Amino acid sequence: MVWRQYRGPRLWIVLSPKWQSARARLLQERDGAGPRLFLLTVLALAFWSGVFGIVYRVLRYFRTVPEIGDLLSTKLLGLVLLAFSSILLLSNVITALSSFFLAKDLDLLAASPVHSIRFYLAKLTETLLHSSWMVALLGVPLFAAYGIVYHGGPLWPVAVLAAFIPFLLLPAVVGTALTLLLVNIVPARRAKELLSLIGIGAIASLVLVLRVAQPEQLVRPEGFRSLADFISMLQAPTNPWLPSEWAMSALMNWLLRVGDPQPLVFLWGTSAISLAVGSVLFRRLYRRAFSKAQESAPVPAGSRWTAALEVLLQWLPADRREFILKDTRLFFRDPTQWSQLILLAVLIVVYLFNIQALPLFSGERFPASVLTLVVFLNLGLAGFVLAAVAARFLFPSVSLEGRQMWLLRSSPLDLRAMLWSKYWIGTVPLLILALLMTTVTNLILKASPFMSAVSLVTMVVFTLAASALALSFGAFYPRFDTENAAQIPTSFGGLVYMMASVTLLALVIMLEAPTVTAQIRAEQYGVRVAWNPWMAVPLASAGIVCVTATLLSLRLALSRVQRLEV
Amino acid sequence: MITLTGLTKRYGKFKAVDGIELTVPKGELFGFLGPNGAGKTTTFRMIAGIIVPTAGRIEIGGVDLVRQPLVAKRRLGYIPDRPFVYDKITGAEFLRFVAALYNAEDASLERRIDELLDLFELMPWKHELTESYSHGMRQKLIIAGAFIHRPEVIVVDEPMVGLDPKGARLLKDLFRQYVNRGGTILMSTHTLEVAESMCDRIAIMQSGRILAQGTMDELRVQTASGNASLEDLFLRLTGGFREHQLDTILEV
């Protein structure tokens, strides 16, 4: 072998442990999991059909609107892609921190003769796949609906791939470059500061994106001086320099038969240039940044607040108290865990912003029945936010015991105590959040006392159930080998949990609908609701469903944890 | 103190542990030897209650581990081969947590934590996160954790890996004194000199079965090995490598 010409192992060899691990995990999942696989397929198809159905109906409606129908479809696609872009950028920055600086295979790769470009491409691919797969899956029903409504033809999937691949690649390259620059300033293991910066940046950019996009204007043409103003707003690009705008134009050009290759050229050209710049940055900065990343975390500051918590929890048995204290310490000392509070803050800001932006109290006055309906439907939105928060904080809790499970299993700890601690440490803050969110939105929406009571009670019982589901699905789909707690909720099991909790939420809303409908009808006709005991049955049955889901999930979680052999 | 009866563990069609029979009485240090993949760690993880046997019984001090797991585990201290501890808690917090798991919290706990940390020379790192500990320091920390609740039995898998000579010597002395005071230890090791010098009795395991067990003299009689060393006995029972394999590997 001529060593001077040796360029190290090829890219696919560097990547092979990752895809081999993924394949092995898939095979393990498949073994003896017939009914489970069936259930998962049904849930996934139901979720995809739901997204497809909504987008399809909206697009069909847009197509019937003369003059501006296509513009509305274009604008909708632009907004969705813009949201995708911001999610992808944030997700890539956080994932790159883990895959480029904290992963366990880095020592092996750094010590082996891997060419720097291949090292970069391998880690970039890993970052891209980890942070983009969920957006890509969500894109399938979205693009399918556009392709069907606009008769995209058999080559539509190729057109989608041509626009979507560079669209996914760009945030991965930019996110990685940002992480690389930031780790040069702040070491990765002192990522608290780093992630604070990223988080603040994310909140700022998201709020900016919301303001720039002004999505509420799409449904409020009356706010414009003339139809011409409205159309010119629809025609104007959100920002001509955003890749989401190029992807949107490329896709809509195909669907509307416009022969303009410029957006695709922009997408691929910018991707190629940013990849080249990214690899140069990597060669220049990575070694120094990686060395900095090896610096240890500082000694924890005095933990006065955990001492206070310890005093507060004195009434608990020692094992439960120490478990809660241990989990609290681990949470607030691990940037990959606590930084998710930033994502939570973003989620809640967006949610409250959306409620505030509803055009209910501007212009023409809406009847009370419409407000009641909005308050009721808001349960769905609030429930979804709570389920997502439970996915972030409760779903990973069993996985996080991971390699330390030997200690718990070999000790005389009753695993009920472990689950009890994990359940309440996640559920109590979630309940506080649920009550706050529901109260604030009810105040914004000027909900009636009846609807306020219904929504508060529903949110409490749903929160109890969503927490139990998150814990249980987390026990059934643990990720003990993960290097980053933030990646656990975005795993396959996390997706299944979200589908299950959304299904439960839909069931609760459907069960409560008859009683709420009676209330809405009464308000429509301006009469008092004639109460009879039968009207309480739907509400009680929704409560029973939630309580059953809670108890059953916790029971299943316990039996699963008892059988876990880690 | 430890009794294994027909202990078996299957993973699908593969039998990792195949009907082990073993008794380790109180006050004995029993060594478990065997090549990699022999089933030692699986056996130890079953005794520690981490994984469930496919068949057979495990008794710790006469208490059935499957029927009364909490009572049996209360008597046991387990030291795994890989020292995984929570990264984001300090050494002292880890020991306090382990004490709570074993319900061993009393007025003297803080003093005992200090004594154990001092013994293993971890006192300067008492309030440091364990993520900054070296492999050996983590190993010392989990050994300290295994002793925090004053167990009657210690099950220890490869204790010497990662320890410096001073730490290894300390561990040998600690184990010997613990056994002299009536404690029972079941230890696996690849360091045959350690096994030969420390263990009262030894079992040699391969492919999930115990090939031979007894004192050194009993093992020599069982294998008709005259005055052979433990290394020779081990290689005779488990099969060694061939000279030509070395030649092939080292060929340049």
Encode pLDDT of A316-342 as tens digits.
Answer: 888 888 888 988 888 888 766 777 777
State whether B132 and A297 contact (CB < 8 Å).
yes
| pLDDT over threshold 50, residue A506 | yes
* Tokens linked to A144: 């399918």
CA distance A291 to chain B (A): 16
Angle between helices B230-238 and B216-223 (to 10 degrees): 40
Number of C-alpha atoms within 13 angstroms, CB side, residue B50?
Answer: 22
Residue of chain B nearest A406, judged by CA positions:
B50
SS3 annotation, A267-331: HHHHHHHHHHHHHHHHHHHHHHHHHHHCCCCCCCCCCHHHHHHHHHCCCCCHHHHHHHHHHHHHH
State whether A412 and B101 contact (CB < 8 Å).
yes
Note which residues in 158-197 of chain B have CB less than 8 A from chain A. none
Number of C-alpha atoms within 13 angstroms, CB side, residue A455?
Answer: 30
Where are the domains positioned within chain B? 1-75+157-252, 84-151
A430 with A467: CB under 8 angstroms?
Answer: yes
**Can you tell me the mean pLDDT for B183-189?**
94
- Domain assignment present for A441: yes
Residue of chain B nearest A332, judged by CA positions:
B88
Element (H, E) at B219: helix B216-223
DSSP-assigned states of every residue in A73-124: HHHHHHHHHHHHHHHHHHHHHHHHIIIIII-TTHHHHHHTT--HHHHHHHHH
Residues A321 and A445 in one domain: no
Residues A211 and A238 in one domain: yes
Taking the C-alpha atoms of residue A508 and residue A379, their distance in angstroms, rounded to an integer, is 10
What Rg do the C-alpha atoms of chain A give, in angstroms? 26
DSSP-assigned states of every residue in A523-552: HHTT------GGGHHHHHHHHHHHHHHHHH
Interface of A with B (CB under 8 A): 296-297, 299-300, 318-319, 321-323, 325-326, 329-330, 333-334, 402-414, 563, 565-566
Residue of chain B nearest A333, judged by CA positions:
B88
Task: Determine the residue type at B114.
Answer: D
- Domain assignment present for A530: yes
pLDDT value at position A13?
75
Residues A347 and A414 in one domain: yes
Encode pLDDT of A508-566 as tens digits.
Answer: 999 988 888 888 888 777 777 777 777 788 889 999 999 999 999 999 999 998 888 77
Token match 């880095």: residue?
A106
CB under 8 Å to A293, separation ≥6 — which residues?
A: A101, A102, A183, A187, A188, A189
Alpha-carbon distances, residue A430 vs A385, A421, A425, B48 (angstroms): 10, 14, 9, 36
Residues A321 and A242 in one domain: no
Residues A559 and A494 in one domain: yes
| pLDDT over threshold 50, residue A1 | no
B29 bridge partner residues = B185
| pLDDT over threshold 90, residue A507 | yes
Q: Which CATH class, in words, describes the domain spanning B1-75+157-252?
A: alpha beta
State whether B50 and A404 contact (CB < 8 Å).
no
CA distance B116 to chain A (A): 18
Number of domains chain A is built from: 3
Tell me the average pLDDT of chain A: 82
CA distance B115 to chain A (A): 21
Chain B positions touching A563 (Cβ under 8 A) are 52
**B184-188 and B153-157 beta bridge pairing:** parallel
Nearest Cα neighbor of A328 from A347, A303, A350 is A303
Any idea of the CA torsion for A63, A65, A68, A70, to the nearest 10 degrees?
Answer: 0
Q: What does the buried/exposed string (b/e) look like for A536-557 if buried means 16 or more CB atoms within 10 Å of the residue's CB? A: eebbeebbebbeebbeebbebb
- Domain assignment present for A28: no
Number of C-alpha atoms within 13 angstroms, CB side, residue B136?
Answer: 13
CA distance A202 to chain B (A): 26
pLDDT value at position A156?
94
Residues A237 and A218 in one domain: yes
CB under 8 Å to A7, separation ≥6 — which residues?
A: A115, A118
**A&B contacts, CB < 8 Å:** 87
pLDDT value at position A236?
59
Residue ranges of E strands in A377-464: none
| pLDDT over threshold 90, residue A369 | no
| Full residue range of the structural domain in which residue A495 is found | 334-566
Q: Which of A190, A303, A406, A418 to mutate to test the interface with B (most CBs of B within 10 A)?
A: A406
pLDDT value at position A189?
61
Nearest to A299 among B85, B100, B128 (CB): B128
pLDDT value at position B119?
95
Taking the C-alpha atoms of residue A554 and residue B139, their distance in angstroms, rounded to an integer, is 35
Nearest to A410 among B73, B89, B127 (CB): B73
- Domain assignment present for A1: no
pLDDT > 90 fraction of chain A, expressed in percent and rounded: 30
Helix (H, G, I), strand (E, B), or coil: what is residue A172?
helix
Residues A312 and A394 in one domain: no
Task: Determine the residue type at B247.
Answer: D
pLDDT value at position A37?
72
DSSP-assigned states of every residue in B31-50: EEE--TTSSHHHHHHHHTTS
Taking the C-alpha atoms of residue A405 and residue B76, their distance in angstroms, rounded to an integer, is 16
DSSP-assigned states of every residue in B141-155: HHHHHHHTT--SEEE
Nearest Cα neighbor of A484 from A376, A374, A337 is A337
Q: Which of B87, B101, B148, B152 to mutate to test the interface with A (most CBs of A within 10 A)?
A: B101
Chain B positions touching A191 (Cβ under 8 A) are none
pLDDT value at position A213?
60
The strand order across the sheet containing B2-11 reads: B14-24, B2-11, B55-60, B63-64
Greatest CA separation for chain A: 92
* Tokens linked to B115: 């004594």
Residues A72 and A163 in one domain: yes
| pLDDT over threshold 80, residue A33 | no
**Can you tell me the mean pLDDT for A461-483?**
91
* Tokens linked to A400: 């996080």
Taking the C-alpha atoms of residue B110 and residue B116, their distance in angstroms, rounded to an integer, is 10
Query: Which ranges of A477-535 would DSSP assign to H, the alpha helix?
Result: 492-524
- Domain assignment present for A30: no
Task: Determine the residue type at A64.
Answer: T
ipTM over the 0.85 cut-off: no
Residues A363 and A320 in one domain: no
pLDDT value at position B114?
95
Tell me the average pLDDT of chain B: 90
pLDDT value at position A158?
95
Taking the C-alpha atoms of residue B68 and residue B56, their distance in angstroms, rounded to an integer, is 15
Residues A289 and A235 in one domain: yes
Task: Determine the residue type at A138.
Answer: L
Chain A positions touching B84 (Cβ under 8 A) are 402-404, 406
Taking the C-alpha atoms of residue A479 and residue A488, their distance in angstroms, rounded to an integer, is 6
Q: Which band of pLDDT confidence, cut at 50, 70 and 90, is reported for residue A223? A: low
Greatest mean pLDDT among A25-39, A220-234, A384-398, B221-235 lies in A384-398
**Can you tell me the mean pLDDT for A87-94?**
84
Residue of chain B nearest A400, judged by CA positions:
B86
Query: Which has the higher per-residue pLDDT, B185 or A16?
Result: B185
Chain A positions touching B101 (Cβ under 8 A) are 319, 322, 407-408, 411-413
Q: Which of A297, A325, A352 is the last residue of a domain?
A: A297
Residues A443 and A469 in one domain: yes
SS3 annotation, A221-239: HHHCCCHHHHHHHHHCCCC
Q: Which band of pLDDT confidence, cut at 50, 70 and 90, is reported for residue A169? A: very high
Residues A534 and A443 in one domain: yes
